[in-house]
Structure 1
Amino acid sequence: MHTRTESTFDVISPATGAVVGSYPVFAAAEVEASVADARRAADWWAGLGFTERARRLDAWRGEIVSGRAELARIIHQEMGKPLSDARLEIAMALEHLAWAADNARQVLGPRSVRPGLLAVNQECTLEYRPFGVVGVIGPWNYPVFTPLGSVSFALAAGNAVVFKPSEFTPGVGLWLAQRFAEVVPEQPVFQVITGPGETGAALCRSGVGKIGFTGSTATGKRVMAACAETLTPVLMELGGKDALIVDADADLDAAADAAVWGGMSNAGQTCLGVERVYVHTDVYDEFLTKLVAHARNLRAGTGAAKIGPITMPKQIAIIRHHIEDALARGARALLGGADAIDGQFVQPTILVDVPEEAAAVTEETFGPTLTVARVRDMDEAIERVNAGSYGLGSTVFSRHNGRQIADRIRAGGTSINAYVAHATITSLPLGGVGDSGFGRVHGADGLKEFTYAKATTRQRFSLPLALTTFTRSKTTDALVDRLVTQLHGRNR
């Protein structure tokens, strides 16, 4: 048992302002002690092998299922999203946990590799080994789905994990760790440390094998700087300014419904959320009518409201600035607007005629707002989408040209005729480019992200032509030269 500091912090419900929990602040020494425990646990966990680890992870999944109502309640209390959305988040996380457990051996286990003619006497094997201990720094907006994209994949790969949840949702992280301990009681394979940014910084400097971070681009840069001190590699899943494109032949009802859900669900607090919509001029007016109709009856509030509060108080000022700046530049609010903000709640806001240089178009808003722009054709739409510094996700609605449009978008993923489907498919990787970060969670890429490639060769017999020796003869050199000509010279 480690000596604990007496420092604590409170978690405040963004919906009611009530204190919903008090948690310890892990100081640097306590973080280092947790990582030291994880190093010892990592050897044992890796030694269990793929089959036994999969069995334990499947049992953990069963624990989460049995307690999902309690977990959803904690999510709702700590960050405010409606219970139905919390349950949906848990369901999506379980799918990815199951995939990681089922596929780790196939993706990461040893496989034979062909050696090539010059090394025909070598037997070659490639496998992916765990780092040992992985540190995960998670976000508050999807406190189960997002961190488990790193935690469960790192565990399936054979790593121990030290998880620092957001200070807004520490209870969620602790609940997950407690349920894991029910099925892995022998060693501290999955630990949770709680605290503010300083606790996360200590984890970055603790010498773990890798850090998986999800959060804002600005915070990601600070995490990278801290990890650079110990050459700790990082996975960066950062912010986004995702766009939805509507072509002239799109199903406008489906596109409008997707835009509203993509922009307003979780109060817009989604890195993959739709913040910009570009619509072909031929269907622009009709689409706007449908969009406003879909959004008009949505309300942010408590109880039966389908949109919850803004979790971080400081985000309110950013949302207000983006709305007011757009209106000052000549934009119009078809819904919501300057008076949409009331305390921690922001009512759905749809802005049109917003200049492309406005903050509401160029910066991540993270609120239930949409900017909708008319474009002359898909070339203009793609140009505007790609002009931004972010490149996380994107959505295209088109009956006939969806793939051609999607292929030209600079983003880590694109979903055609459905919002964010690529993030829910267990075998597909998720991540971004540019200011949206690098590295991938989910799928085979997500498993490999928490390993290093180990190459092994074994010489099966000696070659008559010894190449890697100082005793190599001129005759051997001449034969190699002729062989090179035969193998590669014909490609001139």
Structure 2
Amino acid sequence: MTLLDQPGTARASDDPDGSRTITIVDPQDGSPVGTVHSADEADVAGAVEAAVRASEAWAATPPAARGALLHAMADGLAARADEVAALNTRETGKPAGDARGGVDAAVGTLRQYAELGPLHRTHSLRGADVAVDYTRPEPRGVVAAITPWNDPVAVAAGLIGAALVTGNTVVHKPSERCPHVGALLGEIWSAPLPDGVLTTVTGDGRTGAALVRSAAVHAIAHVGSTATGQAIAAEALHTGAHLVLENGGNDALLVDADVDPVWAAGQAALGAYANSGQICTSVERVYVHADVAEEFVAALVAEAERWNADGMAPLVDTRMRAEVHRQVSAAVAGGARVLTGGKIPAGSGAHYPATVVVDVASTDDLMREETFGPVAPVQVVASFEDGLNRAVASRYGLAATVLTGSLEHTTEAIRRLPVGTVKVNAVFGGAPGGAAEPRGASGRGFGYGPELLDEMTTRKVVHIGRPVLRARG
């Protein structure tokens, strides 16, 4: 198993001189974006060694000074926001507005950690009156940040910002599906920092494998697929690196009998089709109460057709599209029905339509696995309890949404859903800094918010007793 997904429309190649490169094409129309170097083991070792050399001085830098440099990183990104967003759209197909929103979110995240870092503290402890007891936060050392393609700027800002402001040095490995974006971020963000504090290595799965195998890496923060996260965890068993993993999800949406089915369909469509379904917390499976199922499904089909008419953004590449279509086709072969969408369109690029599938079996991959495409698979359930039982039965534990007017059903769902985030009556949203801890196959550790500062540090317990001084003559 490779440690990072191999590219689809991103083509990796070994050059005659022994070097490796990755070529990216635009998923919108198949036009070339460019070619980047794919770091080998020697390149990775050099990046880690540089991080190690810079580590002691960076850890000794006052937190306020580190925070000021994060503000400088944010300033640099803000000054080139349009450039970064446009490159993201070309490389991943992310809609222009969403791409710019991701850059703006990254700027805000860097500023948030710039302010939170100097305030990060642990606890005083109650001991003897004549002693002082407390815990001291210390950086872990070298952090490997391995970031995804679906929100590459905002996610990288969070992981890198939290690691740097707490005194760690960072080696950043962006997804091989957006190496140009990753390299540009590295150029912008490393500019105000001392040498070696932040290094970017672009490459494929072999690059990622070399990075996480390094014994000099003390923590690994990864956002990406479950298979990759599991492979990273296996390597960490040998190196002892601390892990922060946000991996795949199979997020359920429960539609209760008492809600407006047209409103609920709008929520389902937003959850399933935003960013062409390529969001970690996208709606992946829908359980709708039989009392409102007919109206809900009709409204969901209308919503899907509206999204298609407005123009769906492409998937990141044709390999991703092939996997989405495989899941849909396998469900249809098992008896499911496609009410709209479900066909690969003619022409270049990696487009796939907003799709509604009904009569899906619980054993189909479309209901069991992360699809990461604009597909809303629907099951009709006889009761809220039936839907909740089905929602609970998943190896993933990222997030889930409940649409209901019942306080009883709300509290029962919150209690029983084995996920890091439960959303009631809204598929997206929530207060800033609301860090969540994924469960099961979806990962471990807090990947966002103030809690990420705790993940990036260790705690040392300190006891200072009263000395007995030598008597003076």
TM surpasses 0.5: yes
Aligned residue number for residue 488 of structure 1: none
In structure 2, what is the Cα distance between the partners aligned to 1:232 and 1:57?
25
* 2:317 equivalent in structure 1: 312
After TM superposition, give the deviation of residue 188 of structure 1 in Å. Answer: 2.6
Please list, as runs of the form range in 1=range in 2, the aligned pairs for 1:421-440 lying within 5 A after superposition: 421-422=429-430, 425-440=431-446
Cα RMSD (Å) of the superposition?
A: 2.1
Task: Give the number of equivalent residue pairs.
Answer: 448
Partner of 2:99: 86
User: Deviation at 1:90?
Assistant: 2.0
CA contact (8 A) 1:137 1:163 kept: yes
Matches within 5 A, 1:153-192: 153-184=162-193, 186-192=194-200
Conserved 8 A contact 2:343-2:353:
no
Indicate how the Cα distance of structure 1 residues 226 and 257 shifts in structure 2: closer, same or farther if over 3 A, else same: same
Provide TM-score, normalisation by structure 1. 0.86
Question: Residues 292-311 of structure 1: matches in 2 within 5 Å?
Answer: 292-299=301-308, 306-311=311-316
Task: Give the corresponding residue for 2:386.
Answer: 380
1:56-91 deviation digits (Å, cap 9, x = unpaired): 112211222221111110100111111111112223
Per the alignment, residue 68 of structure 1 pairs with 81
Structure 2 partner of 1:489 = none
Verify: 1:114 aligned to 2:114, yes or no: no
Matches within 5 A, 1:270-285: 270-285=279-294
Normalising by structure 2, we get a TM-score of 0.89
Letter in 1 for 2:331: A
Q: Assess, with a 3 A threshold, how the Cα gap between structure 1 residues 96 and 406 changes in structure 2: closer, same or farther.
A: farther
| Cα distance, 1:232 vs structure 2 | 1.8
Written as runs of structure 1 = structure 2, the 5 A alignment for 1:5-154 is: 6-107=19-120, 109=121, 111-115=123-127, 121-154=130-163
Q: Tell me the CA shift for residue 238 of structure 1.
A: 0.7
Corresponding residue SS for 1:366:
coil
Pairing 1:452–2:461 present = no
Pair 1:419 & 2:394 matched: no
Contact 2:140 2:456 in 1 (8 A): yes
CA distance in structure 2 between the aligned counterparts of 1:17 and 1:120, rounded to whole angstroms: 71
Structure 1: gaps of 5 or more residues: 463-492
> Distance between the aligned counterparts of 2:217 and 2:275, measured in 1?
32
CA distance in 2, matches of 1:316, 1:127: 48
Distance 1:461 1:377 in 2: 69
Q: Tell me if 1:194 matches 2:202.
A: yes
User: Is the 1:281–1:377 Cα contact (8 Å) retained in structure 2?
Assistant: yes
| More displaced 10-residue stretch of structure 1: 20-29 or 95-104 | 95-104
Match in the other structure for 1:287: 296
SS in 1 for 2:416: coil
Are 2:220 and 1:214 equivalent residues in the alignment?
no
Give the whole-Å Cα distance in 2 for the aligned partners of 1:141 and 1:162: 20
**SS at the partner of 1:298?**
helix
1:338, distance to aligned residue in structure 2 (A): 4.4
Structure 1 residues 344 and 433: alpha-carbon distance in aligned structure 2, compared to 1, 3 A threshold:
same
Instruction: Tell me: CA distance 1:290–1:92, structure 2 relative to 1, closer, same or farther (3 Å).
Output: farther
| AA matched with 1:295 | A
Distance 2:140 2:434 in 1: 23
Q: Which moved more, 1:252-261 or 1:201-210?
A: 252-261
- From 407, 410, 413, the equivalent of 1:405 is 413
Say whether the 8 Å CA contact 1:154–1:447 is kept in structure 2. yes
Give the Cα separation in 2 of the matches to 1:5 and 1:459. 60
Cα deviation digits, residues 342-381 of structure 1 (max 9, x gap):
6621111101111111111011111110111222222112
- 1:250 CA drift (Å): 2.6
Taking the aligned partners of 1:72 and 1:366, their CA distance within structure 2 comes to 21
Q: 1:285 to 1:213 in 2, by over 3 A?
A: same
Q: Is the 8 A contact 2:343 2:352 kept in 1?
A: no
- 3-state SS of the aligned residue for 2:306? coil
SS in 1 for 2:135: strand
Computing the radius of gyration from Cα coordinates, the structure with the larger value is 1
2:450 aligns to what SS in structure 1? helix
Do 2:262 and 2:295's aligned partners in 1 also have CA atoms closer than 8 Å? no
In structure 1, what is the Cα distance between the partners aligned to 2:311 and 2:144? 34
CA distance in 2, matches of 1:328, 1:11: 34
Distance 1:113 1:91, change over 3 A: same
Distance across 2 between alignment mates of 1:128 and 1:378: 46
2: CA distance between counterparts of 1:437 and 1:111?
27
C-alpha contact (below 8 Å) 1:245/1:279 kept by paired residues: yes
- Assess if the C-alpha contact under 8 Å between 1:340 and 1:349 holds in 2: no
